[in-house]
Amino acid sequence: MKIGVILLVLVLLMGLPYVAKTYGLKAITVSDLPDKGAWAELSQGNLYYRWYVPEPDNENGEIVILVHGFSTPHFVWDRIKNPLLERGYKVLVYDHFGRGLSERPAIRYDKGLYIGSLKELLTHQQISQPVHLVGYSMGGAVVGHFTRAYPAQTKTLTLIAPAGFMPGAQTANRLVTLPVVGEWLGHMFAKDILVSDVSEREMANIDDPLAMDKLDFVSQVSEQLAYSGYVESLVSTYRYFDLFNAQDTFIAVGKRDIPTLAIWGTKDATVPYSGTKNMLEAIPHAELMTIEEGGHNITYMQPSIVGPGIAAFLDRSISLSP
């Protein structure tokens, strides 16, 4: 009898906060889309994408695709794209399934999903020429896996604080992989974890006029949490997509003559700078751009360095291509 009461109390203690967090979450619909951009109808659902196009007399005929990371959708590129447009590059951004303005299907979020959705998006947009892939955090692992699968479609590779170079960290947070427990933890603590990328410690050494405002970042993250399926997509990704070790993929990519740039902050607490050693072992011809005192949030907190750095790398690669 006592055990039953204890179990009931535990269920209530865990269940009531969960209900409070999940009650009222809404499904994303086409009415949530802004005036710019659209949904691509892919095999797993509708994926949001948006094109940014330079002035017609400035186009260079090259296409850059920006692939965001684990939790923050395409807004992380808002302060990066202008240097690319100014140099004539067409820029395509999109949101992974489960994030941003894309649908949140109840599916397995594994490597195949992320490779497949990028491949389908290229087909949907009738892009047949090789493209410049830029991946941030988990997006770095995604573009690595995509390049391994479709090397002919990748013209250059830019990896910003890329996941996949942290093999020693993969034993952490195993509770998230447990059924039900992972979803409960996600809904209870997601916001606190997600806004940690703009902690006072990580912002202490940032003096970039284009940096994203902390309150704006927190607001954008909070918007994600208003939609059902967002937390579930993160938990599923954590379970089925190896965020920590993509070394085999990058070794395979490194055997191909694809110009590669890695941009990394020395104070990255999420993907430690020590991963540069493994990265350069896997891709010996890669260029390394180090941002002193930079954290994991360099894409949107230090865009004055990152954006021009990518643009300059792409210009050099194009000038050297046959």
CATH number of the domain that residue 205 is part of: 3.40.50.1820
Asked if residue 14 belongs to a domain, the reply is no
Instruction: Give the Cα separation of 286 and 70 in Å (integer).
Output: 23
Q: Are 162 and 135 in contact (CB under 8 A)?
A: yes
Q: Average pLDDT for residues 290-303, to the nearest whole number? A: 93
Give the closest residue to 68 by CA, choosing from 102, 31, 43: 102
Q: Which residue did the predictor score with more confidence, 72 or 11?
A: 72
What distance in Å separates the CA atoms of residue 237 and residue 229, rounded to the nearest whole number?
12
What interhelical angle do 138-149 and 247-254 show, nearest 10? 50
Beta bridge partners, 257, equal none
Query: First-to-last CA distance in the chain?
Result: 78
**Which of 19-28, 40-49, 114-123, 157-166 has the lowest average pLDDT?**
19-28
Distance, CA of 207 to CA of 197 (rounded, Å): 16
Under the banding of pLDDT at 50, 70 and 90, the label for residue 13 is very low
**Would you say 146 and 115 are in contact if contact means Cβ atoms under 8 Å apart?**
yes
Band of pLDDT at residue 202, cut at 50, 70 and 90: low
User: Which pLDDT band, with edges at 50, 70 and 90, does 48 fall under?
Assistant: very high
Alpha carbon 281 to its chain centroid, in Å, reads: 23
Q: Is the pLDDT of residue 9 over 50?
A: no
On whether residue 42 sits in a domain, the answer given is no
Length of the chain: 322
Instruction: Pick the more confident residue, 236 or 96.
Output: 96
Q: Is residue 5 in a domain?
A: no
251 has a pLDDT exceeding 70: yes
**HSE value, Cβ hemisphere, 13 Å, CA-based, for 240:** 15
Percent of the chain residues topping a pLDDT of 70: 80
Tell me the pLDDT tens digit for each residue of 186-199.
Answer: 555 566 666 555 55
> What is the number of domains present in the chain?
1
Range of the domain at 61: 50-320
Which tokens is 298 given? 């360099």
| Residue 194 belongs to a domain | yes
Closest listed residue to residue 166, CA positions, set 268, 284, 49? 268
* Within-domain flag for 184: yes
Mean pLDDT, the chain, whole residue set = 87
Chain segment 253-268, per-residue pLDDT in tens: 999 999 999 999 999 9
Distance CA 248, CA 303 (A): 30
